[in-house]
Structure 1
Amino acid sequence: MAKSSPSKREELRKRRGARLATPTDLGAEASRDIAGGLNAVLADVFALYLKTKNFHWHMSGPHFRDYHLLLDEQADQLYAMTDPIAERVRKVGATTLRSIGHIARVARVRDNDADFVDALDMLAELRDDNQQLTARLREVHGVCDEHQDIASASLIENWIDESERRVWFLFEASRRGSSPAA
């Protein structure tokens, strides 16, 4: 068996130890800023997904079926965001969340571990969380605009629209009936 030349051994060692820095023309500062914003949003989306599923699983009351199905649909939509967000972070040259602990350290969505939450309180809490997510998406969109990351901004625009729709549906579903104006 022939020995590898020092240059080949060095090349193999470099490749094995290479960082996960996908090449990008955005630059190091843009990569850092955009990935930081997207990773924070990703942590929030995972936390909001789990909170939505929690409320979906623990829903009760006279509108159980409607609310149960609404929250399941919204949870699916949130979960569908996770892979494109993480892949976008990789495309801009950074790494993304690695564990539940990492999500817990970064997420800004507050847990609700209560044994019982009234159905309308669940909807109101998720409405507020989705409104906050919308605001955070707008912030990251601004960072993307600053660094001319059109692809991330385009994805974020769709997620803002989806978040606004979730807010709207949660708002309307939680409205109490009112009598018509005289």
Structure 2
Amino acid sequence: MTSKDNSKAALIDSLNGLLADSFALYLKTKNFHWHVRGPQFHDLHLLFDTHATEVFGLTDLIAERVRKLGGTTMTSIGSIAAKTTIRNEDDARLDAMAMVKQLFEDNTAFVATLKSVKELAGEAGDNATDGIIDDWTDQAEQRAWFLREIMA
């Protein structure tokens, strides 16, 4: 394998990690949408749904980047679970502000992952992935910003 092949393989692997994180972040955000309660119920219920929809919208775009690069994507819930860095949260009675805090941390970590993938795209000479990640990063930074302001 050449250095360029290795860079491309590393990029595909990192995009699959990003895809796993997208699915996991979507499900966690949707779970919080379904289970949020308390005085901020209405606003958080709507915000979490908006965020979940935005994150879910990334999944197809990320998977298609993997395929365009000649790679294969994950094929099952198990493969997503094995690759994600998003921490599970199964407590349906979690306090609303704890939900906000977790999603803030997860979206902040997602930004860091995006920046790492962008670096690999640059190394692989993949201008398309490099460029599109800027939009995805801006979206994730906005989600983190909204959540951070709720915690203030």
Identify which of 57, 68, 71 aligns with 2:45.
68
Residue 42 of structure 1 is matched in structure 2 by: 19
- Matches of residues 119-158 of structure 1 in structure 2 within 5 Å? 119-158=96-135
Residue 150 of structure 2 is matched in structure 1 by: 173
Identify which of 102, 108, 112 aligns with 2:89.
112
* Distance of aligned partners of 1:115 and 1:73 in 2 relative to their CA distance in 1, 3 Å threshold: closer
Q: Distance in 2 between matches of 1:84 and 1:50?
A: 17
**Counterpart code for 1:146:** E
Higher helix share: 2
* SS across alignment from 2:134: helix
Q: Distance in 1 between matches of 2:4 and 2:64?
A: 18
Residue 23 of structure 1 is matched in structure 2 by: none
* 1:114 positional shift: 1.2
Question: 1:50-108 CA distances to partner (integer Å, 9 max, x unpaired)?
Answer: 00000000000011000000000000000000001000000011101100000000001
* 1:31 positional shift: 2.6
- Matches of residues 68-87 of structure 1 in structure 2 within 5 Å? 68-87=45-64
Residue 5 of structure 1 is matched in structure 2 by: none
RMSD value over aligned CA atoms? 1.2
**Counterpart code for 2:127:** I
Q: Distance in 2 between matches of 1:115 and 1:30?
A: 41
Unaligned 5+ runs, structure 2? none
* SS across alignment from 1:113: coil
Unaligned 5+ runs, structure 1? 1-25, 176-182
Deviation beyond 3 Å, 4+ runs, structure 1: none
Who wins on radius of gyration, i.e. which is larger? 1
- Aligned partners of 1:31 and 1:94 also within 8 Å: no
**Counterpart code for 2:110:** L
Q: Distance in 1 between matches of 2:24 and 2:100?
A: 16
Residue 13 of structure 1 is matched in structure 2 by: none
Structure with higher RCO (Cα < 8 A, 6+ apart): 2
* SS across alignment from 2:10: helix
